[in-house]
Amino acid sequence: MNSPAAPLFSVRGLTKHFDGIKAVDSLSFDVAEGSITGIIGPNGAGKTTVFNIVTGLYRPTAGSVLFRGESITGLRPDRVVRRGIARTFQNIRLFNRRSCLDNVMTPLFQRERCSFLGSLLGTPSTRRMERELRERAVGLLQVLGLERFASTQADNLPYGFQRKLEIARALATEPSLLLLDEPAAGMNPEETRSLADLIAEVRERFQVTILLIEHHMDLVMNICSPIVVMNFGALLARGTPDEVRADPAVVAAYLGKGRGRR
């Protein structure tokens, strides 16, 4: 019998304490390559803290993060990106005063390690590289339906489009694992449905595995499997949408209480 494929990503016994609060409490779960895995749970359950640990913003109090079978626990954020993990933020973090195109080009530049001096001097090879990166950035804006906003300053974009721009920017680092923290926050039901289609398309097109935090249950139930349910920092349940929906502990802790705040 074939053994199941090793997971792309795992957390093992992950724990984070803040002044006596157990924000994440001995959490373990796996993410299979190619999946869109969901993380749900009530406000304050520790979801974002998991992303902050994985991406090197916080050091865990205990436990480990494994990516492609290797520990990446405690790696610096830029190293985590180089390993192939990118994220978006619950509280959008864009270069507000720069154009959408610039927002996507910056990580491309960083990835190619373009020299700032070369760029200032405008050497032929730098100009060629810049042209190529610009084309790639425009391509990413197109996929996310943002090409008409290429020269728009990021903070002038409608909120839902800023969330899409964050996804484009994350994709510019060519991740194999994309972490999305509430990508549909602030979106109406129609925008949320079209975002769900877009996320599924992004997975196919970029061959990227997705781990997605959401309060919009319709989005999670439609495109995520499995779903990891957190409560008070710990794992409450893990299963298919149907399994999670039918789990009495999940209903009691979460789904029964007005389905989150958004």
Ligand X SMILES: Nc1ncnc2c1ncn2[C@@H]1O[C@H](COP(=O)(O)OP(=O)(O)OP(=O)(O)O)[C@@H](O)[C@H]1O
| Footprint of Mg ion (CB under 5 A) | 47-48, 90
DSSP H/E element including 244: helix 241-246
**Contact (Cβ atoms closer than 8 angstroms) between residue 240 and residue 50:** no
Among 2, 3, 43, 151, binds ligand X (CB under 6 A): 43
Q: Identify which of residues 41 and 84 has a Cβ nearer to ligand X in the complex.
A: 41
| DSSP secondary structure code for residue 153 in this structure | B
Per CB under 6 A, the segment of 18-26, 62-70, 76-84, 161-169 that binds ligand X is: 18-26
Give the chain's count of helices (H) and strands (E).
10, 10
CB nearer ligand X, residue 59 or residue 82: 59
Task: Please tell me whether residue 21 binds ligand X under the rule CB under 6 A.
Answer: yes
Max CA separation in the chain (angstroms): 64
Q: Is 106 exposed, middle or buried (0-12, 13-18, 19+ CB in 10 A)?
A: middle
Task: Between 61 and 90, name the residue whose CB sits nearer to Mg ion.
Answer: 90
Sheet containing 9-18, strands listed edge to edge, beginning at the edge strand earlier in sequence: 21-31, 9-18, 62-67, 70-71
Minimum Å distance from CB 182 to Mg ion? 6
* Residue 241 binds: one of Mg ion, ligand X, none (C-beta under 5 to 8 A by kind): none
**Judged by CB under 6 A, does residue 49 bind ligand X?**
yes
CB half-sphere exposure, 197, CA atoms < 13 A: 8
Residue count at the site for ligand X (CB under 6 A)?
A: 12
Residue 257, amino acid: K
41: contact with ligand X by CB under 6 A? yes
Q: Which of ligand X, Mg ion, none does residue 234 bind (CB under 5 to 8 Å by kind)?
A: none
Q: Cα–Cα–Cα angle for 79, 84, 89, nearest 5°?
A: 85
| Euclidean distance between CA atoms 24 and 63, whole angstroms | 10
Q: How many Cα atoms occupy the beta-carbon half-sphere of 226 within 13 Å?
A: 13
Q: Which stretch binds ligand X (CB under 6 A): 15-23, 112-120, 137-145, 163-171?
A: 15-23
Q: Sort 125 into a burial class: Cβ within 10 Å, 0-12 / 13-18 / 19+.
A: exposed
Q: Which does 99 bind (CB under 5 to 8 A by kind): ligand X, Mg ion, none?
A: none
> What's the min distance (Å) between Cβ of 25 and ligand X?
10
172 versus 236: smaller Cβ distance to Mg ion: 236
* Residues 64/26, Cβ–Cβ less than 8 Å: no
The one among 6, 13, 18, 76 contacting ligand X by CB under 6 A? 18
Is residue 57 a contact residue for ligand X (CB under 6 A)? no
Residue range at the interface with ligand X (CB under 6 A); choices 44-52, 74-82, 110-118, 217-225:
44-52
What is the closest distance, in whole angstroms, from the C-beta atom of residue 21 to Mg ion in the complex?
14
Which residues contact ligand X (rule: CB under 6 A)?
Answer: 18, 21, 23, 41, 43-49, 90
